[in-house]
Chain A
């Protein structure tokens, strides 16, 4: 069964500094990776989707995927206080019937 683990559990960064989040997965057939942002008491907002090794940029959010290392990361460029939220990694694998498996999340606090 797919296991998705995120690190760190929480992260505090200063406004304007780069924030980096990590996600590891266990199923080598995984083919679809998404980063969601969840503001307190709100739904999930998709930030970036990536399907092949390398880099995918969406505005200030960049995902890096290395399937050989079972690792996908998210980098937030010039984070702002409004980026303070929980960031969730979601992974889909063929062996899981294409269903999404979510990590527990990384809580990010951006200080002015």
Chain B
């Protein structure tokens, strides 16, 4: 089974500060994803990547950057954190973006922006 880890597991940040969320997977998956989860919304895709050194915008990329320095690592960067970015963030990985691939999720990072 896929092993996806995230750090930190929770974080309190100040408005306007920089926040970096990290994700690491050990299953040799090509695809990695960042989602956010808010009350009243399903998980929404922020950024994804299908190869190292390349990232793609998801459905809600504004206010976020992503970095994929290696196949195993994928970071989400909030350059200027805002109150509206308080949410739980999930990282996922998958072998491919084909019709039958499965995304495996990390445990999530709970971010509170004050």
Q: Which residues of B contact A (CB under 8 A)?
A: 4, 35, 40-45, 48, 58-59, 90, 92, 97-100, 102-108, 110
- What CA separation (Å) do A112 and B99 show in the bound complex? 39
Q: Write 20 A-B pairs (CB below 8 A) sorted by A numbering.
A: A31-B99, A42-B107, A43-B90, A43-B105, A43-B106, A43-B108, A46-B102, A46-B103, A49-B100, A51-B100, A90-B43, A92-B99, A94-B99, A97-B97, A98-B99, A99-B48, A100-B103, A101-B42, A102-B42, A102-B44
Check if A74 is an interface residue, CB within 8 A of chain B.
no
From B40, B59, B105, B106, contact of A99 by CB (8 A): B59
Chain A 6-28 per-residue mask, 1 if CB under 8 angstroms from chain B, else 0: 00000000000000000000000
From B40, B98, B108, contact of A42 by CB (8 A): B108
From B4, B41, B48, B97, contact of A104 by CB (8 A): B41
Which residues from B are CB-within-8-Å of A42? 107-108
Report the minimum CB–CB distance from A41 to chain B (whole Å). 7
- What CA separation (Å) do A101 and B98 show in the bound complex? 15
Q: For the complex of A and B, list the 4 residue pairs with the smallest distance between their C-beta atoms, beginning with the closest.
A: A102-B42, A44-B105, A43-B107, A102-B43
| Contact-residue size bin, chain A (C-beta under 8 Å from the other chain) | 20 to 34
Q: Which residues of A contact B (CB under 8 A)?
A: 4, 31-32, 34, 36, 41-46, 49, 51, 88, 90, 92, 94, 97-105
Which residues from A are CB-within-8-Å of B98? 98
| Interface pair B104/A104, CB less than 8 Å apart | no
Which residues from A are CB-within-8-Å of B102? 34, 46, 49
| Interface pair B107/A99, CB less than 8 Å apart | no
